Amino acid sequence: MRRTTILALALCLAPPALHAGDAAAPDPRVASLMAGLVMSEREGWMLDYLFAHQKPEIAAALARLSGYDTETFRATARQGYAQRAETLGVVDARAFPDKALRGEAGGWRWAMVPVLTTYEYVGTGKRFTICANWLAYGDGTRWYLEQLSDFATRDALRKGVPALADAPLGTRPACGDALIG
């Protein structure tokens, strides 16, 4: 077989619904959602932003996994976030939609966007950076948002949105040398 034939065959067999980097144009709704996330992280109200953009069924599933109803789960998360803010501040947050994995299945479009956040300990001034993937996904009418840092969230997404079952939700984020969250 000639090289061009092998290349053509490889391109034909590649899954058409999965794109990385510049292979597909980023959706402007994803860029807007991620810009809001970064701004909310910098200004200290990221949880409220996440809750406003979280699919209700996913929020309920995550709450059940923790033994709470949705409102109690969110109140507990807010309390933990406030306690963390007493010792740890956000210095910077950046999203990298150009490094996103994107795809679509079953009427859902998704983009897995790496987000780099730099934190600073309030007392010492010592800084560290964490990179985590955030999933923006939508059904054509509304877009939702989830952080993909734990198995429970990925499992709830696969069960709550079956079209995402084959999406590579466990992919390592691509932020360079930062810690992986």
- CATH code of the domain containing 159: 3.10.450
Query: Measured between alpha carbons, how far is 63 from 148 in angstroms, rounded to an integer?
Result: 16
Domain that holds residue 122: 25-180
Q: CB-based contacts of 68: which residues, under 8 Å, 6+ apart? A: 76
Average pLDDT over residues 51-76: 94
Contacts of 170 (CB under 8 A, 6+ apart): 148, 154
Specify the range with the lowest mean pLDDT, choosing from 41-45, 73-77, 109-113, 154-158. Answer: 41-45
What is the per-residue pLDDT across 103-158, written as a single tens digit (0 to 9) for each? 998 999 999 999 999 999 999 999 999 999 999 999 988 999 999 988 889 999 98
Q: What is the 3-state secondary structure (H, E, C) of the chain?
A: CCHHHHHHHHHHHCCCCEEEHHHCCCCHHHHHHHHHHHHHHHHCCHHHHHHHCCCHHHHHHHHHHCCCCHHHHHHHHHHHHHHHHHHEEEEEEEECHHHCEEEEECCEEEEEEEEEEEEEECCCCCEEEEEEEEEEEECCCCEEEEECCCHHHHHHHHHHCHHHCCCCCCCCCCCCCCEEC
Confidence band of 48 (pLDDT split at 50, 70, 90): very high
Q: Is residue 6 part of a domain?
A: no
For 83, how many CA atoms within 13 A lie in the half-sphere containing its CB?
6
- 18 within domain boundaries: no
CA–CA gap between residue 116 and residue 1 (Å, rounded)? 44
User: For residue 170, is it within any domain?
Assistant: yes
- Of 116, 114, 140, the closest CA to residue 127 belongs to 116
Query: Does residue 128 fall inside a structural domain?
Result: yes
Residue 20 lies inside a defined structural domain of this protein? no
Question: To the nearest whole percent, how much of the chain has pLDDT over 70?
Answer: 82
In a domain, 1, yes or no: no
Residue 97 pLDDT level (bands cut at 50, 70, 90): confident
- In a domain? residue 86: yes
Amino acid found at 30 = V
The DSSP bridge pattern shows strands 108-121 and 88-95 to be antiparallel
- Compare 106 and 4 and report the one with higher pLDDT: 106
- What is the total count of domains within the chain? 1
State the chain's mean pLDDT as an integer.
82
**pLDDT > 50? residue 53:** yes
Supply the pLDDT for residue 159.
Answer: 87
11 falls within a domain: no
Question: Using one digit for the tens of pLDDT, what is the confidence trace for 11-35?
Answer: 233 333 334 443 456 678 888 899 9
Q: What are phi and psi of 18, to 5 degrees?
A: -115, 125
